Amino acid sequence: MVGGSLPLLRRAVMRESISFLLNGRLETLRDVSPATTLLNYLRKAKRLTGTKEGCAEGDCGACTVVIGELSDGRVRYRAVNACILLLPMLEGRSVTTVEHVRGGDGGLHPVQQALVDTHASQCGFCTPGFVMSLYAMYLSEPRPTVARINDVLAGNLCRCTGYGPILRAGQSMYDLPAPDRGVQAREDKAQLEAIAHPDTVALSCAGCRCYAPGSLADFARLYAENPGATIVSGATDVGLCITKEHRDIPLFLFTGRVGELKTISEGATLLRIGAAATWSDLEPVLGRHFPDFGELVRRFGAVQVRNAATIGGNIANGSPIGDGLPPLIALDARVVLRKGARRRTLPLEAFFIAYGRQDRGAGEFVEAIEVPLGRPEGLKCYKLSKRFDQDISAVCGCFNIRLARGRVREARICYGGMAQTPKRARNVEAALRDEAWTLATVMAALPDFDRDYTPLSDLRGSAAYRRQVAKNLLIKYFHETQQPLKGTRLVGPGAAFG
């Protein structure tokens, strides 16, 4: 464990309102509860009913809107779920709903026209969400592959049309006369720059209060002073506490405006990731260093979820089935914790004490995660779930085994879904270490899984299934080291899209 002191923290300047752009117009809100979702605000306060409520938990995509945010001197557009996005998270951003989508001549936008031309709508309930997911892609990406369109639409469910016509619309929209995207980007950039500021935003209404600091120093001070506050990054978990559990949360502390918490630094030997970096930001970075980890991230929820959910939320939540944790532990990652003006660093696996308990004191928060670089070729990840997209793992197994002259020199094996926390298979590791890397060695180590894990039975799988799967994954991993597969392992060779 490493400790350190930081400079004294300054007092924050407070603004008692939130400001954002809604369909190109400035919204400034004061007397509104910080627990209000964007979806409820759009439908009830603004009567923008094109954005639909389906699941109220970020799964169906009917409520998809496009958020614009200044990033490195330009506006970055992303699709998100309005049903679990809280209003203070919009400070300094823009929101575009389906009512504002139109072509350069004021008629249908190419996204909308393509959906009409391919007969890609029946009842129409889900269609606005599809429009907005495709619109975000249209604003941000050149002509995509069919596989990419599949990824983009994985978070939008349709029970009528089937996805064939919608996928064809995602391809053909690029063939239609295009509006000048540069004009919109320049206008949005100017408006967002005009409302940008570094101050802390505070909002109170109906017994609920929130802070949205503009700097890491202010965030650390506020959390040290208010250790009972609920920290919110992407709200992909906390949002459900509001929409499904109807829980009253008296005090929120938002990370979304703290630029230091979003920073991703790549060094020669270390990858340092700010706790508020989203999984969408991390997917390409992790994919470069650890290809399997990048592919695993592609199966975290859907694009709308990955655009909001953060690595720090995944860690601080401490779920035993959080898919980000097994690969990080297998890579010997460390977590950086901060309280006020002090930091400490500890191995990520030591952060998890028991179910729902982490080594985190009052007023202490996850500031960053540090991942060693240098030997990424050993990491292999496996996720078993009933669906490829938007599903929780029954078992997630990650292996980082280093061989030298045909023998196991180092083994780090971690599973999710097998214990009350993400947990290493230490007895299995010990059984493999210094032994010849052969099938006989692997088979001899399998009984040690029963010493390492006592999994539970639930809707995703029985205890017996999980035990057998854990053993089978080690065997699978061995065979892949002998004859590596071509293509994307987590999908499987020969898997085709479209």
| pLDDT at 329 exceeding the cut of 50 | yes
Domains of the chain: 15-99+185-254 (3.10.20.30), 104-178 (1.10.150.120), 377-482 (3.30.390.50)
% pLDDT > 70, the chain: 94
In this predicted structure, what is the pLDDT of residue 318?
Answer: 85
Question: CA torsion angle for 57, 60, 64, 68 (degrees, to 10)?
Answer: 70
Looking at per-residue pLDDT, the higher value among 180 and 297 belongs to: 297
Q: What is the pLDDT of residue 184?
A: 80
Eight-class DSSP state of 179? P
In angstroms, the CA 428 to CA 50 distance is 54
Weakest-pLDDT range from 18-27, 164-173, 381-390? 381-390
Identify the H or E element spanning 470.
Answer: helix 463-482
Tell me the pLDDT tens digit for each residue of 441-451: 999 999 999 99
Where does the pLDDT of residue 32 fall: very low under 50, low under 70, confident under 90, or very high at 90 and above?
very high
Helical spans, DSSP H, in 141-237: 146-153, 164-172, 181-195, 216-225
* 391-434: pLDDT as tens digits: 889 999 999 999 999 999 999 999 999 999 999 999 999 999 99
Q: Is the pLDDT of residue 124 over 80?
A: yes
Query: Could you please report the per-residue DSSP string of 282-310?
Result: HHHHHHHH-HHHHHHHTTSS-HHHHTT-B
Contact 339, 361 (CB under 8 A): yes
Is the pLDDT reported for residue 490 higher than 90? no
CB 258 within 8 A of CB 338: no
pTM for this entry? 0.91
State residue 1's pLDDT score.
39
Report whether 308 contacts 234 (CB < 8 A): yes
- Looking up tokens 């695993």, which residue turns up? 296
pLDDT of 389 > 90? The answer is no
Query: What's the confidence (pLDDT) of residue 495?
Result: 35
pLDDT tens, 294-316? 999 998 889 999 999 999 999 99
Report phi then psi at 277, rounded to 5. -70, 130
Residues 258-306: tens digit of each pLDDT = 999 999 999 999 999 999 999 999 999 999 999 999 999 998 889 999 9
Rounded distance, CA 485 to CA 291, Å? Answer: 13
| pLDDT, tens digit (0-9, with 9 covering 90-100), for 78-119 | 999 999 999 999 999 999 999 999 987 889 999 999 999 999
Confidence of residue 359 (pLDDT cuts 50, 70, 90): very high
What is the arithmetic mean of pLDDT over 195-209?
94
